[in-house]
Structure 1
Amino acid sequence: MKTMIRFNSILAAIAAVAIAGAGVHPASAQAPDTIAQIKQRGKLLAGVKFDTPPFGFLNEKNEPVGFDLDIVKKVAERIGVPVEFVKVTSPTRIPLLVSGNVDLSAASMTHTQERDKTIDFSITYYTGAQSLIVPKASTIKSLKDLAGKQVSVQQGTTLEKNIAAAAPGAKIVAFKDYNSAWLALVQGRVDALTGSLNILQGFAKDNKDYVILPDRFSVEPFGIGVRQGDSSLRDAVNFALQDMWKSGEYAELYKKWFGAEPDVPLEVWP
């Protein structure tokens, strides 16, 4: 399937904020029939990350790849159109969705009650856990050792809230993306990095001087976001995920990107 890359202006996020500020319900920005709109346009616009391996990142050819992107391709196949990947970040993934710049957001996004007030979510397609990575020589061995220490985290995520609650004595330093948070650790500007376990494993795999601590202090159910009330597209996403689970395609993609069998089954309806 041919994939294309489109970069969006920050004005989209500003427009979304303006809509919220005016008291307009997010659902009012959606098309009456998103599936029909996608087919008329001839492509699915999918918000994905370009900096969060293995969910969404740029490969050595500067092409976007990852688990989230492969999932979205299957959704697009079900609808019968190609997919165009639109770069989003944690702060912009919901505003760009609400403002109509993307049809869905598949961006390693945890389904929370607070976010559910603004957008709708698919069934959980990945269940992760939050942990910490530190240099092997570090004196930090667990959460209780973080008092007075600086911990980098990705800005605008549930990860940021979780670490603040789990280690109230730590000094939280938020960065716009994982790569920046990781670089801060490598350069010694922070003492630890917190994030989703599988993402930290990606960093540790290629950097043997770092170790992931055994603490697991949150459960992160990832969902694909659609505009509130967009039941037709949400159903298309859910049915694609469930078909993938039943056919074994989901397990193949999971093993491709995580190197293991999925340990949490997807919700499948009769």
Structure 2
Amino acid sequence: MRKFIWPCGVALFCFATSAAAVPPPPPPTSNAPAVNAEPGNVLKAAQQAGVLRVATEPDFPPLYWVDEAGKERGFEYELAQRIAKALGIPNVELVEDDYDKLPTLAKEGKADIFMAGYVPDDSIEGISWSNSYLDFGLCLIVPKGSPVKTIKQLKGKNIGAYDDPAVTRWIDENIANRKAVKTYLGPGWLFHVDNREVDAAIYDYPLALEEIKAFKRLQIVSFNLNESNYAVGFKSGNPELQQALNSAIESIEASDDYVGLIKRYLPFKISQEVPEGSDTYTIQRGDTLGKVATEKLGTTASWKTIWELNKYRIPNPNLLEAGDILIMPKSKETL
């Protein structure tokens, strides 16, 4: 798992005047034939075919879905277009299947890579992983008006979670003295929080942002409870592909275009409420965490300290905008 660190040399805040996101190239009009010029080399085969076959789970917003007009959309969908372009591959072909079947598609050569909110998992045999293309954390969901704002307030509470071993394992390791943990499957599982069967829920923030839209009585009160990431999976034994993917992702993440994708598909407005007595700073146009840290704390590296004080309020630093209020350290001596 890659450490949850944000490059402070890159502008983390994108405003209305920033460069518009580059539209993805159109999907191929027909399926490309398999290319076996160099058996086992997934990258070269995809480059020769001119098509990157991406396995994904269908109807999986905000990562991938088809809208009412029949247009393919989603954070991962657009990211796949940009990755393919960086690999020198003009087209992307989606291979849709159930979530747990996607690694098998890659191992059997039916897809070149897979992307569907996968956290790198060494227990999946025959699969290797790229570096992270989205760093994220679990979030805390409660009914509006609930006194629960942090995981420390879950003592004696019933906690709900999507039936994901990684999430339930994290709850076991980090939330002591809870009453019970109940896991659920299927769409609409947040109904159990809305119906007060459990007091709170723990969930991946990218998915929570979308699914909570159907539950007007629920709210997210804390982000980044842990450090995790989504990565591209592919058949092991392809070091050229791994190196190319990592290079492409690094370049994309450093661009304003990537910031635009975050804002378009994973939006969330930071709470302007701060603890009483906090020192604060209001973000100005053109600010980065590194710039603020240098001007206010004396060193660029101190951006990490500022982020630690604010990460529970907003899921991703790329979502910060002019006018947002940051909680600041009391003094340099506290660093």
Give your verdict on TM over 0.5: yes
Q: Moved runs in structure 1, 4+ residues, more than 6 A?
A: none
Say yes or no: does 1:68 pair with 2:122: no
Q: How does 1:35-54 map to 2 (within 5 A)?
A: 35-54=43-62
1:145-224 superposed matches below 5 A:
145=154, 147=156, 149=158, 151-153=160-162, 155-156=163-164, 158-167=166-175, 169=178, 170-176=180-186, 179-186=187-194, 191-204=199-212, 207-214=215-222, 216-224=224-232
Task: Please name the residue that 1:58 is paired with.
Answer: 66
For the 8 Å contact 1:5–1:86, the answer to whether it is kept is no
Q: Give 5+ residue unaligned stretches, structure 2.
A: 1-24, 31-37, 269-287, 289-315, 319-335
Note closer, same or farther for the CA distance 1:98–1:129 as it changes in structure 2 (3 Å cut).
same
TM-score, with length taken from structure 2: 0.59
Among 78, 85, 88, the residue aligned to 2:94: 85
Q: 1:105 offset after TM fit, Å?
A: 1.3
* TM-score, normalisation: structure 1: 0.71
Equivalent residue pairs, number? 237
Cα deviation for residue 253 of structure 1 reads 2.0
* Coordinate RMSD, CA, aligned: 3.4
1-side partners of 2:165 and 2:103: how far apart?
A: 11
Cα deviation code 1:75-132 (max 9, x no counterpart): 22233231112234442332332233321111112224545x6421111111101022
More helix by share: 1
The residue number in structure 1 matching 2:115 is 106
- What is the CA distance between 1:68 and its match in structure 2? 1.0
Match of 1:2 in 2: 26
Q: 2:143 aligns with which of 103, 117, 135?
A: 135
Any conservation in 2 of the 1:91–1:156 contact (CA below 8 Å)?
no
> Unmatched 5+ residue regions in structure 1?
7-29, 265-270
Instruction: Note if contact 1:47-1:106 (Cα within 8 Å) is conserved in structure 2.
Output: yes
**Equivalent position of 1:20 in the other structure:** none
> Is the 1:164–1:172 contact (alpha carbons within 8 Å) kept by the matching residues of 2?
no
Alpha-carbon separation, structure 1, partners of 2:93 and 2:108: 17
Partner of 1:252: 260
How many angstroms apart in 2 are the aligned matches of 1:4 and 1:80? 11
Q: In the alignment, is the contact (CA less than 8 A) between 1:94 and 1:105 conserved in 2?
A: yes
